[in-house]
Amino acid sequence: LAKTTQPISMDSYEGQEVNITCSHNNIATNDYITWYQQFPSQGPRFIIQGYKTKVTNEVASLFIPADRKSSTLSLPRVSLSDTAVYYCLPGGANNLFFGTGTRLTVIP
Amino acid sequence: GAGVSQSPSNKVTEKGKDVELRCDPISGHTALYWYRQRLGQGLEFLIYFQGNSAPDKSGLPSDRFSAERTGESVSTLTIQRTQQEDSAVYLCASSLISAGYQETQYFGPGTRLLVL
- CA of A53 to nearest chain B CA: how many angstroms apart? 17
Choose from A34, A35, A57, A96 for mutation: most chain B CBs within 10 A: A96
- CA of A33 to nearest chain B CA: how many angstroms apart? 8
Residues, chain A: 108
- Listing DSSP states for B7-33 in one string gives E-SEEEE-TT--EEEEEEPPTT--EEE
What architecture (CATH level 2) is domain A4-107?
Sandwich (2.60)
Number of domains in chain B: 1
Q: For every one of its 116 residues, what pLDDT tens digit does chain B have, with 9 covering 90 and above?
A: 589 999 999 999 999 999 999 999 999 898 899 999 999 888 899 999 988 888 889 899 999 999 999 888 899 999 999 999 999 999 999 988 765 566 788 999 999 999 99
At B35, the amino acid letter reads Y
**In a domain? residue B105:** no
CATH number at residue B34: 2.60.40.10
Choose from B9, B37, B102 for mutation: most chain A CBs within 10 A: B102
DSSP B56: B
Find, in chain A, the residue whose alpha carbon is nearest to that of B6: A43
Domain containing residue B45: 5-97
**In a domain? residue B23:** yes
